[in-house]
Amino acid sequence: MSMNALDAIAVALCTLLSVGIWRYRKARRLPPGPPATFLGNAHHIPRTENWVAFKNFADQYNSSILCLWMFNSETFILNDYRTATALLDHRSSIYSSRPTFWMAGYLAGRTSTVFGTKSTNPRFKIYRTLLHKTLNPRAIRTYRALQLAECQTLLKGLLETPDDFIAHLRRNAIAIIMSVAYGYQVKSNDDKFVNILEETLRLAGVLNTPGKFWVEFLPILRYVPAWLPGAGFRKLARSLGQTMGRLENVPYKWATSQVLAGSYDESFVSDHIHDQSFAPTLEEKDDILKWCAAALFVGGGDTVSSRIAYGLKATTDGRSSEKTVSVMTTFFLLMARHPEIQQRAREEVDTVLGGNMATHSDQASLPYINAVIKEVLRWGPVVPLGIPHQVTEDDFYDGYLIPKDTRIISNIWAMAYDENEYPNPSAFDPTRFLGDNKQLDPLKYIFGFGRRVCPGLDLAEASLFINITNILANFIISKKRGPDGQEIEPEAKWTTGVTAHLMPFPCQITPRSPTALRSMLSVSAN
């Protein structure tokens, strides 16, 4: 048979299969979405900023729910808050599981992580209960002194080496979470445990690369014998999974050895190590505690702070750097871009604090600062597509079938940039959350939904408040000037992954009064 005849047969088969899939979808009353071929919709998912593409599809199909096909299963993407809360919050008893992550979970031997545990697994309830005990609004009051002390270290760092602001912010977030999880004091910016976290996040990024591994689309491939040509993905997952295991094992071993030696700072590990009520055996208790502590470490380390993004190149004021940054750095970028908003926030801080260091009890007296924090979180959602949920029963919504096992993605970015909720959504405008006609509060969705909602949200919010308020009280953030004397516009370029980070940008951080700040820091130190 000639090549032309073969090509024609292949095209005819593909067309038949695609039409078949389209008819099947229509018959089952699934939500709309871009037409799938027999290879699914993989080709519709861009590798960068895919949350924008999903929102564009939702606009194009005039539907807040989209259906994309990933070979053996449907993925639904929820693009507005109304739909996401109706399903993931109000029907959370069936929408709180997680799909199987074949490379980073199953094949890497990491199905017990808190992030990936299915809601049907008895571990899920135990994990959530233990994390809640450490992170509930009452419990986090005990970390206030720690947050204040770490904020002082941050202010000192910004005073001494302002150009290293990313490293100072990173140290701040990691120091807090390492203390909460393990009772470990981070002493330098080049810490052994922090390096393990960054290496693990890098490897997780490799295994989670969208569209890279066929087994994510065709899970049956997980049975392909590892020695067969083309089965290298199995070896890769196993070997990276072993290296990633250092994340939950090394700091946990360190913390337990400190407790057993009787010289330790209180932490999640020390609080629970002698409690066996939640596990039938000692081994299981250790396994549960190590995964929970690691979840604190990853959750706190990869969202509030900054991290290294390997393979990404960027320059800040001429220096090559590979660091990317998150919520606090988004704040620096926005303040450099909006001096008038920064000034209004500072006036409120000066009036209320009168030169003293802000403490947690000042939060209720600073409405404009609270609005700035909400707007920073909305403007740059740090987990733009949330973490996928999975529905455990067939369900119906708005006339659509949502079949059991469907993977549900909440497009948090689309909710934050929904023109119906936020007129001119690209504009940074804290007054959205002030006055009589307040716009939708981003705290309702930015931390996720239902039984999977982020357990660290109160801790994160408290840290953001203390750091942002005290930075505004003591520093002026502005655009840097180049050698030609011209201001350099700080650019907002995002990385794509589970968490989105801003690429580094230049900015000028100037103390308002170095002498006053030094004396405030020395008084607090005494």
Tokens 């949330």 belong to residue: 386
Verify binding: residue 300, ligand HEM, rule CB under 6 A.
yes
Which residue do the tokens 């450099």 mark? 336
Structure-token pair, residue 222: 């997980």
By CB under 6 A, tell whether 387 contacts ligand HEM.
Answer: yes
Neighbours of 99 (CB within 10 A): 22
Nearer to ligand HEM, 402 or 520 (CB): 402
327 lies in the binding site for ligand HEM (CB under 6 A): yes
395-397 and 400-402: which strand pairing? antiparallel
Among 33, 251, 380, 448, binds ligand HEM (CB under 6 A): 448
Distances (CA, A) of 92 to 85, 129, 354, 498: 9, 17, 46, 22
67 carries a ligand binding annotation? no
Query: Minimum CB separation from ligand HEM for residue 220, in Å?
Result: 26
Q: Which one among 383, 440, 462, 471 touches ligand HEM, defined by CB under 6 A? A: 383
In whole angstroms, give the CA distance from residue 346 to residue 163.
Answer: 22
- Quote the CA–CA distance of 293 and 130 in Å, as a whole number: 10
User: What sign for the dihedral angle of Cα 352, 357, 363, 367?
Assistant: positive
140-199 residues in contact with ligand HEM (CB under 6 A) are 177
CB of 327 to ligand HEM, least distance (A): 5
Of the CA atoms within 13 Å of residue 427, those in its CB half-sphere come to: 9
Size of the site for ligand HEM (CB under 6 A): 27
In Å, what is the CA distance from 281 to each residue of 101, 286, 295? 28, 9, 21
Examine residue 432 and tell whether it contacts ligand HEM (CB under 6 A): no
| Number of other residues whose CB lies within 10 A of the CB of residue 394 | 12
Give the shortest CB-179-to-ligand HEM separation in angstroms.
Answer: 11
The one segment of 32-40, 53-61, 182-190, 449-457 that binds ligand HEM by CB under 6 A: 449-457
Q: How far apart are CA 366 and CA 89, in angstroms?
A: 30
The answer to whether residue 115 forms part of the interface with ligand HEM (CB under 6 A) is yes
When the beta carbons of 70 and 140 are compared against ligand HEM, the nearer one is 140
Q: Using the rule CB under 6 A, which residue among 184, 449, 494, 505 binds ligand HEM?
A: 449
Residue closer to ligand HEM, measured from CB, 143 or 422: 143
- Binding ligand HEM (rule: CB under 6 A), the pick from 255, 293, 295, 349 is 295
Burial class of residue 523, CB neighbours in 10 A (0-12, 13-18, 19+): exposed
Single residue of 63, 83, 85, 303 touching ligand HEM by CB under 6 A = 303
Neighbouring CB atoms inside 10 A of 340's CB total 7
Name 319's bridge partners. Answer: 316
408 contributes a contact to ligand HEM by CB under 6 A: no
Closer CB to ligand HEM, residue 107 or residue 498? 498
Q: Which two tokens stand for residue 42?
A: 């993989």
389, 453 Cβ separation under 8 angstroms: no
Q: Is residue 372 near ligand HEM by the rule CB under 6 A?
A: no
3-state helix/strand/coil string of 382-405: CCCCCCCEECCCCEEECCEEECCC
CB of 383 to ligand HEM, least distance (A): 4
Piece of 10-18, 270-278, 292-300, 422-430 that binds ligand HEM (CB under 6 A) = 292-300
Strand partners, 396: 401
Pull the structure tokens for residue 278. Answer: 């939640």
Residue 384 binds ligand HEM, judged by CB under 6 A: no
Q: Of the candidates 211, 228, 210, which has an alpha carbon nearest to the alpha carbon of residue 384?
A: 210
Candidates 298-306, 395-403, 481-489, 511-519; binding stretch for ligand HEM (CB under 6 A) = 298-306
Which segments of 121-275 does DSSP mark as H helices, in order? 122-135, 144-160, 165-182, 192-207, 232-244, 246-261, 268-272
Q: Per CB under 6 A, does 455 bind ligand HEM?
A: yes
Contact with ligand HEM (CB under 6 A) among 294, 358, 382, 408: 382
Handedness of CA 158, 160, 166, 170 (dihedral sign): negative
Which residue number, 33 or 455, has a Cβ lying nearer to ligand HEM?
A: 455
Give the separation between CA 411 and CA 388, rounded to whole angstroms. 10
Closer to ligand HEM by CB, 58 or 174: give it.
174
Please give the Cα distance from 173 to 178 (Å, whole number).
Answer: 9
Q: Which is nearer to ligand HEM, 358 or 460 (CB)?
A: 460
Q: Which stretch binds ligand HEM (CB under 6 A): 44-52, 241-249, 445-453, 503-511?
A: 445-453
Report strand pairing: 407-410 vs 475-478: unpaired
Q: Which of 296, 328, 409, 462 binds ligand HEM (CB under 6 A)?
A: 296
Closer residue to ligand HEM in complex, CB, 107/446: 446
Binding to ligand HEM by residue 114, rule CB under 6 A? yes
447, 465, 475, 505: which one binds ligand HEM (CB under 6 A): 447
Site residues, ligand HEM (CB under 6 A): 114-115, 135, 177, 295-296, 299-300, 303-304, 327, 382-383, 386-387, 389, 446-449, 452-456, 459-460
Residues forming the annotated binding site?
A: 454
Return binding residues for heme.
454
